[in-house]
Amino acid sequence: MTTVKAAEKYITVNGVRLHYLDWGTSGKMPLICLHNHGGQAHIWDEFAESMSSRYHVLALDQRGHGDSQWAETGYERERFVEDIHAFMDALSIQKAVLVGSSMGGWNSLLYAHEHPERVQRIILVDIAPEPSPEFTAQWGTRPARPDEFASLEAAVELARQGNQWASDARLRSDTRDKLRQREDGTWGWKADPQLSTMRLRDIDDAELIQRYWKAVEELSCPIMEVRGTGSILVSDDTIRRMEQVGKQFTAVDVEAGHVVTVDNPQGFIEATRTFLDVTS
C-alpha cells in the first residue's frame, strides 16, 4: 500500500467534469496513467508513488468512471481520445508518457497516433490491437455482474472469485474505490451503468482493430507491453507480430491477472523501471 497521498483534483473538459490524482513533482516529465474499462485511477497508486521522484504523475478517472462525471456525450473510443487531448491542453502539457491499462492502452495508442509529437513513450498494460481467439470465444459467455451489494465484503468476495493474485488488502481497496455506498447502506458501482452494457467495438470491429495495428506500426516512440501471466487477452502470436511491426517495441510478462497494477504492484514497478529510466 502507498504511504504518499496524491492531491485529488477536478477539471472540466469537453463538457465532462473529470477527477484525477496529481502526484506532484511539477516541472518533471508528465506521466499520464489511464485505467481499464470499469476501473478507476487508484489502480496506479503504488506505481505512481514509485515513479513520482522522476515524473509528474497524473492518474485520470476517465469519463464515466470513478469520481468523474457520467457523460451525456457517450463512450465511443473517440470521446476518450478527445478527453486526453483536452486534459493535456488544459494543464499545458506539451509532451507526456502514457501508461494505459486495457482500455487505457487503446486510448493511448489512438491518441499517440493522432498526436505523435506529444507522446514520449507508451506502456500498454495487458492490451494489444486485437484480443486472442481464446478471449474472444469467452467474451460473450461471462456472467453479468450484480448492480449492487448488501455490503462491501460481499463485493470483495465476488472480486476474489475471479482474482487469485491480488493481496487481500489490495483487492479490498480496489473494490472499495470502484464502489459508492448509498443512503440505504447498499453499495453500487461508481461507473456509469452504460459502460457495463455497451458493446466494446475494440473486440471485434475490424476497422478499429486495424487502427490499433496501424498505430503500433507507424509510431516511432518506444512502446512497452506488460502482460499478466494469468490473462488470456494478449496472445503470444500477437506479441510476435507487435515485435515484428513495431519500430521500438518490447514486451515483458508479470505474475498477475489482467489488471497487473492491482494484482502485482511491485512486479509491475520492477518490470517498467528500466523502460522509464527509473533506477532507484
pTM for this structure? 0.96
Q: What was the pLDDT predicted at 81?
A: 98
Residue carrying C-alpha cell 506521466: 31
High-pLDDT (> 70) share of the chain, %: 98
* Res 2 pLDDT > 60: no
Other beta carbons within 10 angstroms of residue 133's beta carbon come to 11
Q: Would you list the domain boundaries of the chain?
A: 7-131+199-272
- Give which of 86, 91, 96, 92 is closest to 117, Cα–Cα: 96
Residue pLDDT, tens place only, 131-176: 999 999 998 777 788 999 999 999 999 999 989 999 999 999 999 9
Query: Span 94-102, mean pLDDT?
Result: 98
Query: Span 214-237, mean pLDDT?
Result: 98
Q: With contact defined as beta carbons under 8 Å apart, do 159 and 171 qualify?
A: yes
Q: Which CATH superfamily is domain 7-131+199-272 in?
A: Alpha/Beta hydrolase fold, catalytic domain (3.40.50.1820)
Task: Grade residue 107 by pLDDT with cuts at 50, 70 and 90.
Answer: very high
- Give which of 166, 59, 161 is closest to 104, Cα–Cα: 59
Q: Average per-residue pLDDT in the chain?
A: 96
- Where do the H-state alpha helices sit in the chain? 45-51, 77-90, 103-114, 133-139, 152-161, 168-178, 194-197, 206-218, 236-245, 260-263, 265-272
DSSP-based three-state secondary structure for 159: helix
Q: What was the pLDDT predicted at 144?
A: 80
Hey, what's the cell of 35? 485505467
Q: What angle do CA 214, 216, 219 make, to 5 degrees?
A: 95
Residue type, 181: Q
